[in-house]
Amino acid sequence: MEQGQKTTVALKPGIQLQLLRYMLTGSSPSAIIDAMQAFELIPSYQFVWEKTLELGIRIKGDHFSQSDIFKRLKTSEQYKMEIGCAEPLQRCEANDCLFQNPDCLKNKLKEQIISLYRMISEYLGIEFKP
Amino acid sequence: MEQPSPHILIIDKSSSELDRLQLLLQDSNYSVTVHGDIQTGYKQCLASRPDLILFDVNLSFDRGSLFIRQMKKQYNDLPVPIIVVTQEAELDKRISIMEMGIDDLVIKPYYPEEIVARIHLLLQESNVPYLSSRPAQQGFSGSLKEMNLIDLIQTMELGAKSGIIYLNRGDKEGQVHIHVGKIVDAIVDDYDSIERAFLHMLTWIDGTFSVVIKDIGHDFPPVAANTQKLFIEGAKVIEQWRKETGELPALHTHLIRVESSQTPGIGNEEKLMLRQFQEPCTILQAIDRSEFEDFYALKLIKYLLEKGFLIKTEHERRRDERSSFSVNPQQLRRGIRSSKNKYSQIFSLFRRKRRHEQDMSLNLTLDENDETNLNLKSNYDEKTMNKIALTKAELLLVRQKFSN
Amino acid sequence: MALLTIQKDAQRIGEIVVVGPSISLQKRLITHLCHEVILTNNNTVFGRSRITHELQLFFYGIGEKEQYQDFAWDIVGRKMLGYMIVFNWYDSQAFQETQLLVDQLTQRTNAHGIIVGDVADSFLSIHSGVFEHGFSLSSKLSFVLWNSAEKKNAKNSMRIMLDTVINHFD
């Protein structure tokens, strides 16, 4: 998924560490996500996405394929249909709604992040605690 | 049969925002009770169950968290949604507030309309009837430390957005109006030109912002100066501001003037500035309240601090002792010289090594009474420059050693 | 007076500062990485590792919260090879303290660092794929899990930190 380039916000390493801790212990990151604003969630999603890839490659080796992750994530098109959004698809894909509808963007990214966390728990063979 | 109005309990100090919020809620057919402290709010909750609680956690963080726990316990069967408002800009703190188990968190300054929308939403989720609906205000807010004015404008420019950027620093508020990504107006204090008002607001690094996306009309001509030129000039101002403030304690530090009947050797302008500090006052407040231009005010304060006419308040000094990442060189030297100091041994290792860098024979002493002058630079805010003493080849040797 | 003497030919020194909420964990990590631990008490640990006749690494464990907050980062940060932040991965309080420390340190110094989470308490429950490479948090900061019951594993954290230093070397 292409990330919006509208923000210069960088995640503090302490927050990255917390995201990582939840990830490796199979805990849900909901509390931390809820405390974030939409523009902070964009780099968080990016971070979680990268770590999912890293772990997938490390643990599954040759059996890993990026498309395995995509298959499990809701596409922007599906998400738009679910919430009945009439905006052009490209805007959703580019996280353009950061300004018009930050709550919607936040919901979308939260769902994606939690799906990624579930996948990581599966890779690690641990139970995901929602 | 007519349904009773949902009851909203607000615990917060009175403010214009709160007054407006109360009015909006009443307009939306809510019954609202406001309490200025947690104690009375808690008593009210015990007397009758509200449908939603909104409170400012900054009234008292510890009691606030206790209050939330009590409410969760009290209404275990049918939880009361809780919205917390806070001025806390730090994400970590916000997370710890969220972890108290609340339903929503709103950062101050807030838009009352936004709170009303959130209340609607939460009550809807908890199946409490509400009687009117208002769309949420579109926009976002945050700390200027994370996104400064230039970042905000560039963001608006990139998306060709229209709206108003509200900035707050201390007691001051400023506005920048944007039409289709271009600055059309900047309002702060009594600055007469848009450029000057804009450049002044660029120095607001410590405040907060809120962006409201809306059509602001087409009547304004774009700002006279080229935006890019303004940015370049703005970047210079920010750089200069950072440099000047970097030589001072943090701008929210409370200072007070040293009591003395005599103030020899200082001019009238310094005396005028000293008057700002009759009572404890932050550097930022003094700058904002003084009649001088910001940079000049900063210079005056710096001079008064250097000459010892201004000192940190007792409270600030105690805080420094507790959190020493902002230690000043004097404290550091004191720490090093103290023969009882726990770290003197480690420090003496460093001192000796530096001094004898070229020596063929290197004796490390742990003599606690050793007093060595250290050439410390006052360097509060700048990151320490890291220059590794080893060559790349040596690093590779070390790497190899740890590979086995 | 002189408690220790470094041999004549030991002229090249790389310094590594070890911090974290627990001095005993700092000591354990330094012990795993050094040939000798020269000085140790309740507040400080000092160890060294000889790489060649001319080259040594010094490890400074600088104690718990009060101590590392008072540490002269301005002085040491200029030349240090890097820093290691070590903490018990399963201790929530230690984790919170570490988070704060990480944020403060990254603001305070430009040096390379590694965060080392000790999982000795529940080592077997961790997937082996997590141990080997660590995770990068930024170009200068990484995170790795460490089983303090196993010496080999500590070297891994050093290796990961050194890789980031070497990759950045001009």
CA C73-B240-B179 angle, 5° bins: 120
For residue A12, the chain C residue with the least C-alpha distance is C103
For B333, the token pair is: 């030297």
Tell me, what DSSP letter sits at residue A129? B
Question: Which residues, other chains included, contact B21 with Cβ-Cβ below 8 Å and sequence gap of 6+?
Answer: B10, B112, B115, B116
**Is residue B322 over pLDDT 80?**
no
Q: Is residue B383 part of a domain?
A: no
Nearest by CB to residue C44, choosing from B343, B363, B395, is B343
Of C2, C107, C162, the CB nearest to B398: C162
Written as six digits, the tokens of A43 are 């780099």
Which run of H or of E encompasses B314?
A: helix B314-322
Evaluate whether C141 touches C117 at the Cβ level (below 8 Å): no
Residue B250, pLDDT score: 78
Looking at B302, B318, B334, the residue that finishes a domain is B318
Whole-model pTM? 0.50
Q: Give the model's confidence band at B70: pLDDT under 50 very low, under 70 low, under 90 confident, else very high.
A: confident
Q: Which residue has the higher pLDDT, B133 or B151?
A: B151
In a domain, B36, yes or no: yes
Among B76, B93, B125, the domain-final residue is: B125
ipTM score above 0.95: no
As given in the structure block, the two tokens for residue B370 are 């050793």
Give the Cα separation of B111 and B99 in Å (integer): 24
Specify the 3-state DSSP secondary structure of B30.
coil
Interface contacts (A, B; CB < 8 Å): 58
Is B95 in the same domain as B199? no
Whole-number CA gyration radius for chain C: 15
Residue B287, domain extent: 254-318
pLDDT at B142 > cutoff 80: no
Other chains touching A, judged by 3 or more CB pairs under 8 Å: B, C
Q: Is the residue at B247 inside a domain?
A: no
Helix (H, G, I), strand (E, B) or coil at C160: helix
The answer to whether residue B234 is domain-embedded is: yes
Residues B11 and B80 in one domain: yes
CB pair distance less than 8 Å for C103 and A13: yes
Domain-embedded: residue B197: yes
Residue A109 has a pLDDT of 93
Task: Choose, out of A17, A30, A34, the residue to mutate when testing the contact with B (most B CBs < 10 Å).
Answer: A34
Identify the weakest region by mean pLDDT among B209-223, B232-246, B387-401, C19-33: B209-223
Tell whether B226 and B277 lie within a shared domain.
Answer: no
Q: What is the rounded CA–CA span in Å between residue B283 and residue B301?
A: 8
pLDDT of A66 above 90? no
Å from A86 to nearest chain C CA?
A: 37
Interface contact B366, partner C, CB < 8 A: yes
* Alpha carbons C103 and A40: distance in angstroms, whole number: 16
What mean pLDDT do residues B190-201 have?
77
Least confident range of B30-34, B287-291, B296-300: B287-291
Are both B205 and B177 inside the same structural domain? Answer: yes
Instruction: Write down the pLDDT at residue C82.
Output: 92
**Partner-chain contact B349 C46, CB within 8 Å:** yes
Distance from CA of B128 to the nearest CA of A (A): 22
* Mean per-residue pLDDT of chain B: 70
- Strand boundaries in B229-361, DSSP class E: 254-257, 281-282, 310-312
**CA dist., res. B370 & res. A41, Å (int):** 52
CA distance C21 to C95: 9
More confident residue, B152 or B326: B152
* Closest CB from B105, B147, B213 relative to A35: B105
Out of B300-309, C22-31, C59-68, C129-138, pick the least confident: C59-68
Q: Quickly list DSSP for B2-22.
A: PPPPPEEEEE----HHHHHHH
Q: Do B364 and C10 touch (CB under 8 A)?
A: no
Asked whether residue B331 is assigned to any structural domain, the reply reads no
| CATH code assigned at B115 | 3.40.50.2300
Least confident of A58-62, A89-93, B256-260: B256-260
What residues of chain B, 151 to 210, have a C-beta less than 8 Å from chain A?
Answer: 151, 155, 158-159, 161
pLDDT at C169: 74
Residue among A15, A20, A125 minimizing CB distance to C127: A125
Query: What's the rounded mean pLDDT across residues A3-26?
Result: 78
The residues facing C5 across adjacent strands are B363
> How many angstroms away from the CA of A11 is the closest CA of chain B?
10
Write out chain C residues lying below 8 Å of A51, CB-based.
135
Q: Do A51 and C135 touch (CB under 8 A)?
A: yes
Asked whether residue B358 is domain-assigned, the answer is no
Are A39 and A98 in contact, with CB atoms under 8 Å apart? yes
CB neighbours of residue C78 within 10 Å: 19
Which residue among B102, B125, B148 closes a domain?
B125
Residue-wise pLDDT tens digits, C58-73? 898 887 766 666 666 6
CA distances (Å), C79 to each of A41, C30, C83, C155, in order? 36, 19, 11, 22
- Give C-chain residues touching B349 at CB under 8 angstroms: 46, 58, 60
User: Under CATH, which architecture does the C12-66+81-168 domain have?
Assistant: 3-Layer(aba) Sandwich (3.40)
CA atoms within 13 A on the CB side of B49: 13
Q: Are C75 and C31 in contact (CB under 8 A)?
A: no
* Number of independent structural domains in chain B: 3
Residue predicted with more confidence, B14 or A103:
A103
If one compares B55 and B64, the residue with the highest pLDDT of the two is B55
Same domain, B50 and B148: no
Same domain (yes/no): B166, B219: yes
Residue among B91, B140, B158 minimizing CB distance to A35 = B91
Using a CB-CB cut-off of 8 Å, the residues of chain B touching C43 are 342-343
Q: Answer whether residue B249 is part of any domain.
A: no
